Each structure stands twice: as C-alpha cells, then as structure tokens.
Structure 1
C-alpha cells in the first residue's frame, strides 16, 4: 500500500505549515529573527488550514525558534489564539519544545491562556511522543 506523504500548505520567512496525512497540521518555525508581518501571516494561514481541512490539532515544532517578541506574544494570546479556537476549531497543540530557554519561557502565558479557552497544549521532547498524543483518541 503506498504511503501518503505530507504536503506543504504554506511557507514564508517565519516558518512552514504542513498538512499531515494523519489529519493534523504541522507548524515549523524557522530559526532566527522573524518579521512580525510574516509571523502573523503564517499563523493566519494556519487557522485557515484548520478550517479548510476540518481538523482541530497542530504539531508545533519550536525546536529552532527564537523567543516570541512581546508584541508577537500579546497578539497570539489576545487575538490569534482566541480566534483560532472560536472560529477555526483549534483544540489540541502538541508542542516540540524550543532548544532556546527564553523561547520555552515565552510559551508559558500562551499555555495558561489556552486553558481558559478550552484548548489543550502539551509539550514534548520528541516527535514520536507528540505524534502519539495527537493520534490518541483521548488526549487528556
């Protein structure tokens, strides 16, 4: 039986979005500084892909990511995440943690804010663990 490959949905200087054959999206952040316009475009395309596919899960690969700027963090927490949950059906985020400790710390407010929205983030060190959690029928 042929294996179905993942396909690129969108990419720019901030990162890349993949459609995985097992019904979730994969967001890969690029290393280095980001332009905020590209960052916002990347996440807006991510929300659109959730709607287009009717999926509710994202594997977020932050391993090579630099920390979020204060404005990126505020936009994600106050605008993008609530809208993605409410309008795009985003429910589960499996996060491959950043190697950069400051990038890891920048995720804390998002994880706390997500709980209030009925969204679940889990962090993982390996892709295998993250993929297994996304595939599990009960993700609590």
Structure 2
C-alpha cells in the first residue's frame, strides 16, 4: 500500500513500495501555488528516496495554466532531472486540454535524460515503470 507523503488541493503524492512516487492530480480547482508545492514535494521526495521513477495519474485533472506549463517545462523539469528523475509513466486524462498541456511539457524534455510514456490503463503504466531502473545511478 502506498504511503501518503503530501496532499494539497492540486493532488496527492505517495511512495509506492515498489520504489517509485505516485503523483495523483485532483479534479478540484487549484492555484499555481498548489501546483508548484506539489511539484516541489515530488522533487524533494525523489532526492530523499533516491528514486528516478514517477507514476502520474491525470485522470480527472484540471489543465495546467500556460504559466504553470512554462514553469514546469523550463524551471522544474531541469531541476528534477538534476535531482535524479529519469522515467515518468503518465496515465492520461480523457480531457483534450489536459492532454495538450501535458504534451507541451513533455516535448520540452529533448536533450534531458528523461523518458515519458503515456498510458490509458494504470496497470500498464505500473508494469512499464517497474521495468525501469529504480535510481538514476
């Protein structure tokens, strides 16, 4: 059973016993502060656990704002990779606006040692993630 590490209006972060983080985005309204706080907790926990893998569930998620997209792509992602982030399994939303916002972010990983895969099914995402190295080392 994953242990809850952090919760706010943006979503919840938990540690999976298999050695990866689970970031589950919420469906309620959230502020940019909430989004940034969740992402900063993700980075902190990646470093604390020395893990490189994240399972991201975007089912029911609200789209990122353009400002949040910019911050994630240009500020957070490079720091996360420096902190050990290497593999992201994203369970995608049916909402086309969420998919577009995510596509903007994932296209900005070029040149970074980071691999994203998108999934419709959480079980498929977990299976793929479990085949990836647990740590960046």
> For 1:20-47, what per-residue CA distance to the aligned partner results, in whole angstroms no more than 9, with x for missing partners?
0000000000003211111101100010
For residues 18-57 of structure 1, what are the structure 2 equivalents within 5 Å?
18-57=14-53
1:32 and 1:6 mapped to 2: Cα distance? 22
| SS, match of residue 116 in structure 1 | coil
Q: Quick check: 2:86–2:113 contact (8 Å CA) kept in 1?
A: yes
Query: In angstroms, what is the RMSD of aligned CA positions?
Result: 1.1
1:45 and 1:65 mapped to 2: Cα distance? 18
Larger RCO, structures 1/2 (Cα 8 Å, 6+ apart)? 2
Q: How many residues align?
A: 133
2:115 and 2:132 mapped to 1: Cα distance? 14
> For 1:18-75, what per-residue CA distance to the aligned partner results, in whole angstroms no more than 9, with x for missing partners?
1000000000000032111111011000100001101000000001111110010000
- Structure 2 runs not aligned, ≥5 long: none
For residues 83-102 of structure 1, what are the structure 2 equivalents within 5 Å?
83-86=79-82, 88-102=83-97
User: Which has more radius of gyration?
Assistant: 1
- Structure 1 runs not aligned, ≥5 long: none
Give, in angstroms, the shift of residue 135 of structure 1: 0.9
The 1:137–1:71 alpha-carbon spacing in structure 2 relative to 1, beyond 3 Å, is closer
1:137 and 1:59 mapped to 2: Cα distance? 12
